[in-house]
Structure 1
């Protein structure tokens, strides 16, 4: 039986899949990365289920779901390139890669690549809080369109692995670096969120987290272990690729308008292997000043500040005026004394 597939319409480009490894030959214990680019024309396809099957020369095949979530091996979220680390090396030899993509009618969409510039809500200048313009909102309906159900299968070729220990590989892969840590204030508490790493890079489940905080970005980056620790006794890691969420109240820190605190995370696996320090996230508390109005008059504290400032200006101006008058009188007296003094005749 011969099965032929074609596009539903000549005017609509087909959904295509390109699969490959990051290199053709690998030396253990270096990890490898599986890539699958799913696109329709020049636009990325989002939300598809992408499964990779790696078949060794001897032994069972390994199945991995590739992700487009911007964590682990995947560098950019929602760019249509699905990725995952591959670390299950059961011996030396050649491995074959095959990728299967499944799209669902209600969930798979494609969209234009969007700007990923960091939005900063405000900044401090000369002790005054200045708010930036609000982040522009873009409707998903304007940049995305639903696709019908589809299935695609692509071959990623083969690759060769060398120097794998004969007795089986030991745990040499720590959890992957967390690269999407975010932090924000919610009243007097801090809310952190990130994508969970795995036990081995982005596969499996980590054992625990280490979270540090500091008011100095450089101190946190250069001396992570010496920074203040956050109590994470109740935080249990989820499987790799899951969104983590953690909220707590900072200890030994005074939270007020203009407060900025930096955070970083490391993950630890069941072999006590520790990941690299995550990206450093910033939590900034900015409270915009209230505009005075008949229904919302300024409070008494602001009136006190204004009155004190007015008094200081009046006193300063009076002192300056007196000094000017005294200086003028002294100048006049000196000129008169010079004119009335004795003259020397030659």
Structure 2
């Protein structure tokens, strides 16, 4: 690791390793090696990463490590580079040393950084989704030791037993009517090493057949691209005539001795009928007059709802009041018959000559007798007096 002239600046670092330190040689199994290239905590992308493998006899093997998600590399653009040493490249048993060389290209190599670091937020907490961006860096070069590994039971390899890597980047770029444009990244002749010989482009209406029995499908002919070196972008155009049918398309890479790669990821294609079309949605900005119209409409609707609610509430109150009035009137409907059994013989029980206006007894309906008096100390007691008796109710 090197150190910067300015301590506030982060440095580029590069490390290398293999899965194990001892390999039992096999003519069909490569040795996979890995490298991580960072600037501080940020992954470095699009750098030239090479591993120089040297055996005990001084024989060197140059291995290109890539971060494109092809072959043995799993995740593209994560700063973890992967490469392989093929069995045909090995020459002997014994100890092999590793030297990693990383070169950053000015204006092309970049680092991957979180958006939150660029904004330098005051708080460390970040509850929202993490977004990342890239930033170009100036040229640099780093050399690091990758350690050693040992090969056992080596034997000379005859013939080519390694097939090309599986394509995993097949995608539909665009379509125009019944014409479809697709692209993918090229792989190598042996995994991701070398340049392959040809492509088999397979088209089928049956997904299962394409995935499990690709040998039963006749490859397309005409306009098939010639394979580029590993990582190159390939483009292919296809015209379909049948409308309303789902097609499935995949690719296999073939090397110079006929080794065929596994079926690529599968893309679905379909031609829409003549009266079907895709149209981009148009978003129109609302004018101020339209905005006021919508506001007025909402206010009018709310006022109408309140008016209806008020009418219903008044009707309920009126019906309840009428029902209560009828109930209290019925309470004294048989007043004369009930008073006869509750006569008071002594006039001294009530104060005489006290006139009780009718509005003070709104729920009492007195019989048409002359003179009615009330006991003013208990307003719940009302009474009336005729020529012989005084009656009361409470």
Using the size of structure 2 for normalisation, the TM-score is 0.60
Q: Secondary structure at the match of 2:221?
A: coil
Q: In the alignment, which of 19, 22, 26 is matched to residue 19 of structure 2?
A: 22
Note if 1:207 corresponds to 2:197.
Answer: yes
Unaligned 5+ residue runs, structure 2? 116-130, 283-394
Counterpart residue number, 1:35: 34
> Could you give the per-residue CA deviations for residues 103-128 of structure 1, whole angstroms, max 9, x where no partner exists?
123122111489xxxxxxxxxxxxxx
Q: RMSD in angstroms over aligned alpha carbons?
A: 2.8
Equivalent of residue 216 in structure 2, options 210, 217, 226: 226
Q: Name the counterpart of 2:118.
A: none
Task: Compute the displacement of 1:192 (Å).
Answer: 2.3
Q: CA deviation at 1:217?
A: 2.3
- Alpha-carbon deviation of 1:183? 2.6
Higher relative contact order (CA 8 A, sep 6+): 1
1:1-346 aligned within 5 A: 5-26=2-23, 27-29=25-27, 30-87=29-86, 88-112=89-113, 143-166=133-156, 168-187=157-176, 188-232=178-222, 234-250=224-240, 253-255=241-243, 260-283=246-269, 287-288=277-278
| Bigger CA radius of gyration | 2
* Native 8 Å contact 1:185 1:191 kept in 2: yes
Out of 53-62 and 232-241, give the one that drifted further. 232-241
* Cα deviation, residue 72, structure 1: 1.6
Provide, for residues 218-274 of structure 1, a one-character-per-residue CA deviation record: whole Å limited to 9, x for no partner: 232122222353215643212222222222324xx4145xx5432111111111111
Output the CA distance in 1 between the equivalents of 2:230 and 2:98. 22
Runs of 4 or more consecutive aligned structure 1 residues displaced over 3 Å after TM superposition: 283-287, 289-292
Q: CA deviation at 1:284?
A: 5.2
Q: How many residue pairs are counted as aligned between the two chains?
A: 259
The CA deviation string for residues 181-220 of structure 1, in whole angstroms up to 9 with x for no partner, is 1134421222222221211111011111111112332232
Cross-structure match for 2:333:
none
- What is the distance in 2 between the residues matched to 1:274 and 1:290? 42
SS of structure 1 residue aligned to 2:215: helix
SS in 1 for 2:208: helix
Q: 233-242 vs 171-180, which deviates more? A: 233-242
Cα–Cα, structure 1 residues 151 and 260, in superposed 2: closer, same or farther, change >3 Å?
same
State whether residues 210 and 232 of structure 1, in contact with CA within 8 Å, keep that contact through their aligned partners in structure 2.
Answer: no
3-state secondary structure, aligned to 1:143? strand
Q: For 1:277-307, what per-residue CA distance to the aligned partner results, in whole angstroms no more than 9, with x for missing partners?
A: 1122234567335889xxxxxxxxxxxxxxx
Which whole-Å CA distance do the structure 2 matches of 1:221 and 1:23 have between them? 34
Contact 1:184 1:283 in 2 (8 A): no
Superposed displacement of residue 64, structure 1? 2.3
Q: Aligned with 1:219: secondary structure?
A: helix
Residues 211, 232 of structure 1: 8 Å contact kept: no
Structure 1 residues 10-55: Cα deviation after superposition (integer angstroms, max 9, x where no partner): 2332111111123322222211112111012222111211121111
TM-score, normalised via structure 1 length: 0.67
Task: Give secondary structure in 1 for the equivalent of 2:209.
Answer: helix
Q: Report the Cα offset of residue 59 of structure 1.
A: 4.9
- The alpha carbon displacement at 1:175 in A equals 0.9
Offset at residue 170 of structure 1 (A): 3.1
Matched residues in 1 for 2:246 and 2:113: separation? Answer: 34
The change in CA–CA distance for 1:42 and 1:229 in structure 2 (over 3 A counts) is same
Question: Gaps (5+ residues) in structure 1?
Answer: 115-138, 293-346
